[in-house]
Structure 1
Amino acid sequence: MSIAGQAVGLFAVTNVDDLLVLALFFGRGSDRRATWAVVAGQYLGFALILAAAVAAAFGASFLPSGVLPYLGLLPLALGVRAAVQAWRHPVDDEQPAERGGPRVLEVAAVTFANGGDNIGVYVPVFATAGPAGTTGYVAVFLVLVAVWLAAGRHLATRPAIARTLSRWGHVLLPLVLLGLGLAILLEGGAFGW
């Protein structure tokens, strides 16, 4: 199988969970600024994942493996913040919520924190692929980020999903972020769990 085919499969397997998160972020704002924030944040967060994986694969690891589980604290903190905001500003059931859209750094932080497993999977692949192979993987991954963004946006704009996100997104986003943070912490064995 070619590097491109392997890269597509590897990306899909390691990023399937991002689709729901992207749809939730897109559901928080439908204007151009919100869309730009999700796109820029996703690319920034994924670029950080790739930089960490490439650096680790070529021996310049600046993120020791023991630190990766604690990346779960980022989405956990963002989830707590979103839950506090939802609690302070309850939504009238008759009127869908008008919330502030996502911020670039918020999306990037969640993407990077959710990418701890990606880094763990990408490092051995990049280490064995060499510089040319790694460049191929990275190029395919960056194209696939755009596909994932389009799929997340598509999900968020389907009428039934858009209504649900508009009405319940302020509750779903904190729950997903809290769950994601806890999953990263628990799966990585943070705090000796």
Structure 2
Amino acid sequence: MNPGIAGQAAGLFAVTNIDDLLVLALFFAQGAGRRGSARTIAIGQYAGFLAILVIAVAAAFGTTFLPDQGVPYLGLLPLALGVRAAIQAWRHRNDPADSNPARTTAPSAAAVAAVTFANGGDNIGVYVPVFATAGIGGMIGYVVVFLILLAVWIAAGRYFATRPAIAKALARWGHILLPVVLIGIGLLILVEGKAFGL
């Protein structure tokens, strides 16, 4: 692989996915202590990111699965998941922490994939022109580097969620922070994309 493409791919991945670190840390905090939750989160993250890559590669070849005007509406996915998590947190606000479903339910792979995909809608717009000009070999290089770095991102999200100070804060406030972050991501995607005439 061309070292120049590897470096460019690493930089592009980091810039377009920095916000995923916080979301991953929140998912790992939500799944802390649940058997298999790390695997579930990793599967969901890869599934969502692979969907982004499939659409970006197809669009680079001139095929589009999503019309440009439909991309902003992807914000409805994290918004809906955030509202659902907020309602659950509110309903169980007075429950003890160890019996509160908002604190004890591990995220599903589908929820992680949906958030990853929706949050990556803007990534598609960045990746398409890069892939289209990189040629087949360059595109393969970008995809390989992205998939390797995705594992690093997942490990970093898990690492942050398990640091004592961060883990303590996420255990205490994660059930509130996760809905806020998801709703914020959803609204940001909708507003930036001018969905519903916003």
The TM-score, its normalising length taken from structure 2, stands at: 0.94
Unpaired runs of 5+ residues, structure 2, are none
User: 1:160 deviation in Å?
Assistant: 0.8
Q: 2:176 aligns with which of 167, 171, 180?
A: 171
Q: 1:50 aligns with which of 50, 53, 73?
A: 53
Cα distance, 1:94–1:125 mapped onto 2, change above 3 Å? closer
Describe how 1:115-130 pairs up with structure 2 within 5 A. 115-130=120-135
User: 1:183 deviation in Å?
Assistant: 0.2
- 1:83-142 CA-to-partner distances (Å, cap 9, x unmatched) read 011011115578695411010000000000000110000000000011111000000000
Separation (CA, whole Å) in 1 of partners of 2:63 and 2:122 = 18
Equivalent residue number for residue 71 of structure 1: 74
User: 1:32 deviation in Å?
Assistant: 3.4
Cα distance, 1:13–1:167 mapped onto 2, change above 3 Å? same
Unpaired runs of 5+ residues, structure 1, are none
User: 1:64 deviation in Å?
Assistant: 1.1
SS of aligned partner of 1:52: helix
Describe how 1:16-35 pairs up with structure 2 within 5 A. 16-30=18-32, 31-35=34-38
Separation (CA, whole Å) in 2 of partners of 1:94 and 1:101 = 14
SS of aligned partner of 1:2: helix
Separation (CA, whole Å) in 2 of partners of 1:156 and 1:164 = 9
Name the aligned partner's letter for residue 15 of structure 1. Answer: N
SS of aligned partner of 2:67: coil
User: 1:36 deviation in Å?
Assistant: 1.0
The TM-score, its normalising length taken from structure 1, stands at: 0.96
User: 1:34 deviation in Å?
Assistant: 1.1
After superposition, the CA RMSD in angstroms is: 1.5
In the alignment, is the contact (CA less than 8 A) between 2:44 and 2:112 conserved in 1? yes
Separation (CA, whole Å) in 2 of partners of 1:169 and 1:5 = 34
- 1:22-67 CA-to-partner distances (Å, cap 9, x unmatched) read 0000000123321111100000000000001001110111111111
In the alignment, is the contact (CA less than 8 A) between 2:46 and 2:113 conserved in 1? yes
In the alignment, is the contact (CA less than 8 A) between 1:93 and 1:167 conserved in 2? no
Q: Please, which moves more after superposition, 57-66 or 19-28?
A: 57-66
* Structure 1 residue ranges (4+ consecutive) displaced by more than 2 angstroms after TM superposition: 91-98
The structure where helix makes up a greater share of residues is 2
Aligned residues: 193
In the alignment, is the contact (CA less than 8 A) between 2:44 and 2:113 conserved in 1? yes
SS of aligned partner of 2:68: coil
Question: Is 2:39 the counterpart of 1:36?
Answer: yes
